[in-house]
Structure 1
Amino acid sequence: MPVSAPPRPVEVAPASASGGRPVGRRLPRLDAADREVLWLYALTRTGLWITAWAVRWLFPSDGERREPAGLLAPWQQWDWAHYLSIARDGYFPGGAGPWTAGWDNREAFFPGFPLTLRAVHTVVPDWAAAGLLISFVAGGVAVLALARVARHQLGDLHAGRRTVMFLLLSPCAVFLAAGYTEALFLALALPAWLAALRGNWRAAAMLTCLACSVRVTGLFLAAALVLHFVLTAKGRDGWRPAPWLLLPALAPALYGWFLWARTGNWTAWKHAQERGWYRDFHAPWETWSHTWEAAFHRTQATGYAVMWQAELLAMLVGLALLLGLVRRRRLPEALYTALTLWALGTSYWYTSVPRSTLLWWPLWIALAGWSLRRPGVRTAYVYVVAPVGVVVAVTFLTGRWAG
């Protein structure tokens, strides 16, 4: 019995009356299923923007204000300041750096999103609007690719819509709309994975290389691609694309060279994470213990403590996902998940694990597959999980820490 069977192809659907085409090897025009996914995406974006508009009026920074904050103010929170500073001023403005007192450790952030932000800013003068536009367009690309991956894997024409629904109603979905890296990363990683499933290794490698410039998670995707290639390549012709799999290493290598030229340290980004976000190595059980203490031992303010509780829950979800993938012998996806959990689970404490669930596309596909077998799963998710997403959105949009 083979270790990993190739994914079952999606069922061929008849062309729709409006001219839609079934999913094939090449990227098709938008069919009815794609348009339905984009409609769902547009509706959820509208809901988030309504929430952001209400937050400006209901939760002013000064309770005596008579005018709300600016229209885009709710979206300019936390990490956005780092992306903006890099895009506008560069990594080491005026010779400042880790040797400067009060340094903001901006080199911890990979250059893909700031470079894109700077490019879009040339045509969109407002920085915040440029960041939101990037995430809006990238999010649309990501959900289309996710839907096609789900249909490819589950072999059901409705699987794509369901998978996208689970993602867009997930607790941390607000970060797909904010000027953050998640949407841009998924817009590169998911088409890369879809290309790999279709055997287009050159496209998969190029897209993964770009994903590696956005987040270090791209390296985990690259590892999954290599494993998928090894498990599916057959014969001499099947191994010919192998050199392309080296391409994703180019982006982090170039960034490391850039940092070495200015700091003398190839891994300055890692040291910046250690200084600014306590991402130095700890044994997994120590990380769990530190996070548990922050969540339940009343050592943190309640707003932070509840987020540490969410971190613990998200880690448990990730471990359950990993076990499920291994049991179903989806080893490449299991490797991607395992590497992500290892990176998140070996710091001083868990940080941004709930937000990282957005990047676990096997989770959303698994939930969709489960809901196709048990329709009650979708109903329970909408009524129980989706409201949590509203809470997290309000938390983030009001400037509180939301993972």
Structure 2
Amino acid sequence: MSAAPSRLRPSAPTPVHRSALRERPAAGLRAGSRRADRDVLWLYLLSRAGVWATAYCARWLFPADRDARRPAPVLSTFEQWDWGHYLRIAREGYFPGSAGPWQSGWDNREAFFPGFPLTLRAVHAVVPSWTAAGLLISFAAGAVAVLALARIARLHLPETIADRRAVLLLLCSPCAVFLAVGYTEALFLALALPAWLAAQRGDWRLAAILTALATTVRVSGLFLAAAVALHFLLTARADRPWRAWPWLALPALPVAAFTGFLHARTGDWMAWQHAQERGWYRAFHPPWETWANTWRDAFDRTRTTDYAFMFQAELAALAVGVLLCGLLLLRRRWPEALYVGLSLCALGTSYWYTSIPRATLLWWPLWIALAGWSLRGPRFLVAHLCLAAPVTTVFALAFFTGRWAG
């Protein structure tokens, strides 16, 4: 998973990159970028077709009722798990009527940030179907995300096909199905990756605004904000506009506003965290206890096989994250290492590991590192795709049939 030093470079483009750019005609650069963007979007559309084909097969081959003579409704396979929380927030708000965490059987919906439900409600004003509206958000956001990932890859990998390799590896990753369904991953990446790209180019105000918007979608936006701030400090020069520094505090405002809203309704300043603890056992535990609890449920036959398999996937994803963080530290990519490290700390100190495989989608340095490695020879890419593609399909089927638990 590691990359050669030439494949994973410091955050700021080196003088070699800049001189190479100066030697190229501007028109040629623009034309090449447009062609590369079209190739990235074509790859994205093909991958979406593959996800939809998998959903179609799941409806016919894996019905909830083994004696069914008709498949489930077309969009029903996309209405799984967290989608219900986003839908209820978009339709009813966080505390409809007098309902709230003071009631037994409460669904702990305040554990979810408001960015995606608000977007869903806005799109639903035009698209009558809630599920179709959620899919449309992820479809459009995913296109923005892959274009931004491709452009970040171009900053670090000089080869002309590196950007498409990074996008291909993301779209064929085991949890790629979550970029196509009504979940937060695609929308978060559509804001976070352009924010990081803006930071790489020194546009700190745009980076702060986009990071603040990403923070309305997922708490991971705070990890991105920390990485952007560190990147600012590491790349600042005497002639830099230091007056842009206050903008970097902007991402804290959405979290503060959401916290204040929850306190006004519940009287609890920690309502978000307490909902996480009640619904997903995300109370703090030492990392060794978290590892032991997850390992037990993965291998000691204390869980049904589908849950045990998901806990095995959590362990594998954690190992990938630790290796990635170590690689970034080795290459002195401090901001990206901070981003991944904060994600690992947040997800790795609960009662057990939850949602780490999905979090890998948000670790853009992983896909750039893998793309750099794949450029060293064709065997790595072929081996990776041969192994990853079946797992990706299995994970997609697990989600579409309601067997996903992470």
Q: TM-score range by the shorter chain?
A: over 0.9
CA displacement at 1:386 relative to structure 2: 1.4
SS at match of 2:97: helix
Residue matched to 2:48: 45
The offset of 1:402, in angstroms, is: 4.5
Give the CA deviation at 1:157. 2.4
**How far did residue 95 of structure 1 move?**
1.5
1 CA distance for matches of 2:313 and 2:49?
A: 26
Q: Structure 1 residue 208 and structure 2 residue 214: aligned?
A: no
Change beyond 3 A, Cα 1:127–1:146: same
Partner secondary structure for residue 392 of structure 1: helix
Residues 7-16 or 320-329, more deviating? 7-16
Contact 1:181 1:214 in 2 (8 A): yes
Give unpaired runs (5+ residues) of structure 2: 1-8
1:14 and 1:21 in contact (8 A); partners too: no
CA distance in 2 between partners of 1:4 and 1:241 (Å): 22
Distance 2:286 2:217 in 1: 27
Secondary structure at 2:31 match in 1:
coil
Match of 1:321 among 321, 324, 330: 324
Aligned to 2:13: 7
**Equivalent position of 2:379 in the other structure:** 376
Deviation sequence 1:240-294 (CA, Å, 0-9, x none): 2111101111110110111011011222111100000000000000000000000
Letter in 1 for 2:348: G
Could you tell me which residue of structure 1 aligns to residue 344 of structure 2? 341
Alignment RMSD: 1.6
Per the alignment, residue 254 of structure 2 pairs with 251
What CA deviation, in whole Å up to 9, does each residue of 1:326-348 have, x standing for no partner? 00000000000000000000000
Q: Which residue of 2 aligns with 1:263?
A: 266
Give the letter for the 1:6 counterpart: A
- Of residues 107, 132, 137, the one that matches 1:134 is 137
What does 1:283-302 correspond to in 2, within 5 Å? 283-302=286-305
Counterparts in 2 of 1:92-131, with a 5 A limit? 92-131=95-134
Output the CA distance in 2 between the equivalents of 1:15 and 1:235.
Answer: 29
| Residue in 2 that maps onto 1:76 | 79
The answer to whether the aligner puts 1:163 opposite 2:166 as a matched pair is yes
Partner of 1:198: 201
Q: The residue matched to 1:21 in structure 2 has which SS? A: helix
Cα distance in 2 for partners of 1:122, 1:342 equals 38
Q: Percent identity?
A: 65
Aligned counterparts of 2:38 and 2:394: Cα–Cα separation in 1: 28
Aligned pairs for 1:56-71 within 5 A: 56-71=59-74
The whole-number CA distance in structure 2 between the counterparts of 1:21 and 1:269 is 47
- Over residues 343-391 of structure 1, what are the superposed CA-to-partner deviations in whole Å (9 max), with x where a residue is unaligned? 0000000001111100000000000011112331111111111111000
Paired residue for 1:385, among 380, 388, 394? 388
SS in 2 for 1:337: helix
Aligned to 2:58: 55
The offset of 1:227, in angstroms, is: 0.3
Q: Is the 8 A contact 1:188 1:211 kept in 2?
A: yes
When normalised by structure 2's length, the TM-score is 0.94
Alpha-carbon distance between aligned partners in 2 of 1:117 and 1:172, rounded to the nearest angstrom: 22
2: CA distance, partners of 1:172 / 1:194? 24
| Residue 31 (structure 2) aligned to one of 21, 24, 39 | 21
In the TM superposition, what whole-angstrom CA distance separates every residue of 1:218-249 from its partner, at most 9, and x where no partner exists?
00000000000000010153422111101111
1:280 and 2:283 aligned: yes
* 1:147-202 Cα deviation digits (max 9, x unpaired): 00010122332211000000000000000001000000000000000000000001
CA contact (8 A) 1:16 1:32 kept: no
Equivalent position SS for 1:335 = helix
Number of residue pairs the alignment of both structures matches: 393
Uncovered stretches (5+) of structure 1, i.e. residues with no partner: 24-30
How far 1:14 moved relative to its partner? 6.0
Distance in 1, matches of 2:96 and 2:49, equals 37
Q: TM-score, normalised by structure 1?
A: 0.95
Q: Quote the offset at 1:5 in angstroms.
A: 6.3
Query: Residue 105 of structure 1 contacts residue 273 of structure 1 at CA under 8 Å; is this kept in 2?
Result: yes
- Which secondary structure does the structure 2 equivalent of 1:199 belong to? coil
Higher relative contact order (CA 8 A, sep 6+): 2
- For the 8 Å contact 2:281–2:352, the answer to whether it is kept is yes
Cα distance in 1 between the residues matched to 2:176 and 2:213: 23
CA offsets 1:17-62 (integer angstroms, 9 cap, x no match): 9x95355xxxxxxx00000000000000001101101111111111
Aligned 8 A contact 1:220 1:339 in 2: yes
Which residue is equivalent to 1:351?
A: 354
Q: CA deviation at 1:112?
A: 0.2
